[in-house]
Structure 1
């Protein structure tokens, strides 16, 4: 009986060594107080809430809780009828949105990170319909934007940061989150993500003192990113 020919499978490609695998760095950023100065917008919106709902709490009390979901803030301020207050706040915010401005140097820094092959994302407590126009002004290709309304809990829970990392197929160890409020720091800690405090934002760094960037440009130094030139990109991936 003639011998049968058994096809031999092609050899598998050699497995990459761990040292040959390049980890892509991820930079996640808060929106309000980090990328865009929205304090004038929020002040106008809170003024509308005070006038429409007879609330005498100063804006500074509201500002202390920035970064949390709106209903959470209302609960902490012991204000009832959060849904109606939110409607007033949202309408006034949209009317005052032209007052918002990117912080000086933010656009240049974002494009330097992109040119250095960092993947960029935004994790914010601002609803997407109000966040998207602000982010589009920056002309940056954000690979993910996580805002309220989707699955998971809001900050200080780690959920939005972890979901952003799922979007990017990235590990917490490869990511850094830049925020300006205590809830940002707490969310990063619980997600196992490195944290940098934006000193130009609205909140204090807290204790023990985290890494602090004194300006957007200072992020390049802290994260060891060379300042490369990169073309501006109209719009974003929103």
Structure 2
């Protein structure tokens, strides 16, 4: 039975690319480099801030040796305004509330830092709907290491067989596979073959019977 749904944050629950692109552009231009646009940032999301900065430097032709200083500048700029232009994808608010009403616990497993994740969830109104947030700084290794998702399941007190993971990248799909957790891929994410795709978060409830929902409330 499904007792918990765990979701990725950036690109899955929320579109944070505009705010991340703004902060990255601020950091890059401070080091004499061109800025980066939102669409290019979307293609770089998923692996955490360090991987993001390395990808951005490569995209604008920057010296890889600048990764440390640019990361520091990006982190300062992003922390100062993490959700000014961030929006919620699809029917996330309504669907998460519906799942919680049925006794399903909700977690977030993200390669964003935990504190920033809480800030974004609060700013977008999703914080009251999430029981557990496990960011990349809360585990020895972030996704696709299965230990990251397993840490979220431990915090939610559910087994892999009783959970569902939702993401938007190949990193998310691989994480779920390695952790032995059923996976759903949002249709607005990066195209992947051989995965079950959902067009709305409400579709997560499909296949979960009333008996299963009742069992989670015992």
TM-score (norm 2): 0.81
Residue aligning to 2:126: 138
SS in 2 for 1:104: coil
Which one has the largest radius of gyration?
Answer: 1
Q: Is the 8 A contact 2:12 2:168 kept in 1?
A: yes
For 1:197 and 1:99, the matched residues in 2 are separated by: 24
RMSD of Structure 2 on Structure 1 (CA): 2.3
Residue aligning to 1:95: 81
For 1:65 and 1:156, the matched residues in 2 are separated by: 15
Residue aligning to 1:72: 51
1:215 to 159, 178, 200: 200
Residue aligning to 1:197: 185
Residue aligning to 1:84: 69
CA displacement, residues 176-229 of structure 1 (integer Å, 9 cap, x when unaligned): 11000111111111111111001123x22x22x2010012233233x5367xxx
1:81: how far off?
3.5
**Do residues 188 (structure 1) and 176 (structure 2) align?**
yes
Change (3 A) 1:102 1:225: farther
Q: Is the 8 A contact 2:153 2:160 kept in 1?
A: yes
For 1:49 and 1:115, the matched residues in 2 are separated by: 42
Count, aligned residues: 200
For 2:138 and 2:112, the matched residues in 1 are separated by: 12
Residue aligning to 1:46: 24
Unaligned runs of 5+ in 1: 1-22, 227-238
Unaligned runs of 5+ in 2: 211-218
